[in-house]
Amino acid sequence: MTPRLPSSRFNGWSIALHWLMAALLVATAATMELRGMYPKGSDARELMKTAHYTLGVAVFALVWLRLLARALQATPPITPAPPAWQAGMGRAMHGALYALMIGLPLLGWLALSAKGTPVGLLGGLQLPSVLAENPDTSHWLKEIHEAGATAGYVLVALHAAAALLHHYVVRDNTLLRMLPGRR
């Protein structure tokens, strides 16, 4: 029996989860950035905040599926292989992105709990409060959450730029490994 060669692409589940997460991250950011278009206290603004919370919970849930998929499938090799420093930068970038996809939803939940604000989700569900009400704690948790979101914008932009650089300049298969529908 011949040994099975490693795939040159991620499996379909990993690809689907990657692009679903990308869409969720864009939607999560958009709901907070665009809420300012509506007056404070308006139904539309409250809907944007509720959508943001719901999307954040979805990101938090799906990141664990991404990590499971990553643990169960060998990472397809980049061909031609990048220098060690580039591979290390890629691992660091992925680690930072995963840390943010776990940390930002938790920080948001903690900040709202400390503020005494119920975290209502679309569909009428509500997350339980996990901290005692404390305005000072809420303030600094919100500041960390917002700084992390800003760092997330930068990391996502760098991640996308690196994929495009690898595809169009380096001309390796980095991007092709994660594109849907290409065999």
| Cα-Cα end-to-end distance for the chain | 25
List pLDDT tens digits, range 7-20.
789 999 999 999 99
Residue 106: which of 66, 45, 53 has the closest Cα? Answer: 53
Contacts of 28 (CB under 8 A, 6+ apart): 52, 55, 56, 59
What is the pLDDT averaged over residues 147-159? 97
The pLDDT of residue 124 is: 84
What is the per-residue pLDDT for 5? Answer: 47
Helical segments of the chain, H only = 12-34, 43-72, 84-115, 135-165
Mean pLDDT, the chain, rounded, equals 93
* 4-55 per-position pLDDT tens digit: 445 789 999 999 999 999 999 999 999 999 999 999 999 999 999 999 999 9
- Can you tell me the distance from the alpha carbon of 113 to that of 44, in angstroms, rounded to the nearest whole number? 22
Q: What is the pLDDT of residue 6?
A: 58
Q: What is the pLDDT of residue 28?
A: 97
Angle, CA of 24, 30 and 36, to the nearest 5°: 150
pLDDT in tens, 81-135: 999 999 999 999 999 999 999 999 999 999 999 999 988 888 888 999 999 999 9
Pairwise pLDDT comparison (2 vs 134), residue with the higher score: 134
